[in-house]
Amino acid sequence: MAEKPEDLNLPMAVVTRITKEALPEGCAISKEARTALSKAASVFVLYATSCANTVAQKSKRKTLTAPDVFTAMEEMEFETFLEPLKDSLEAFRSEQNEVKERKAAKKREKEATEKASQEEEKEEEMGDEEEKEGAEKEDDDKEDKEDKEGDTEITTETPAEVHMIE
């Protein structure tokens, strides 16, 4: 809970931004008016929270939900705000889903890129191994040929016969 009542006020920067967006261009608002709006907004939020909490407690829950807030708005006789509030909530949820989908798509893309990279590395390794095996086979063939040439003895038992001994 807040230690002082001032801790419950909305930040002045937020109040200023909201009021500037709500007022027509060229319209100024005094510091006193911003302070009064900040305090009024804080009181409204506290009252709405208290009413929504009562609705949740009647349902034997400790967590406030959006339907609790909608019911509280009706009980506070702010029915005119229900549709804009529901629309804002729907827009927020849609935005959150889009963010989640973009993150998931980015993750899938990253995984696909990593998988393709790993497959390329495997192919390169296979190619390197095949080249190495081919080079080794050439070396073995060359050595075999040299061995055969080195192992072959030509002897002349008789001048007319030449025998190959392997």
Q: Mind listing the pLDDT tens digit for each residue in 71-109?
A: 999 999 999 999 999 999 999 999 999 999 999 999 998
**DSSP assignment, residue 153?**
E
Amino acid at 64: L
Q: Both tokens of residue 5?
A: 């009542």
Helix (H, G, I), strand (E, B) or coil at 120: helix
Whole-structure pTM value: 0.57
pLDDT of residue 166: 46
Supply angle C-alpha 11, 83, 24, rounded to 5.
50
Of 97, 99, 50, the residue nearest 75 (C-alpha): 50
Distance of alpha carbon 76 from alpha carbon 48, whole angstroms: 8
Give residue-wise pLDDT tens across range 26-84. 898 999 999 899 889 988 999 999 999 999 999 999 999 999 999 999 999 999 999 99
How far CA 11 is from CA of 3, 7, 14, in Å, comes to: 16, 9, 5
79 half-sphere exposure, CB direction, 13 A CA radius? 3
Give residue-wise pLDDT tens across range 7-27. 777 888 998 899 989 999 889
Q: Both tokens of residue 124?
A: 């390169």
- Give me the mean pLDDT over the 154-165 stretch: 51
Alpha-carbon torsion 84, 87, 91, 96, what sign?
positive
Radius of gyration of the chain (CA): 42
Length reported for the chain: 166
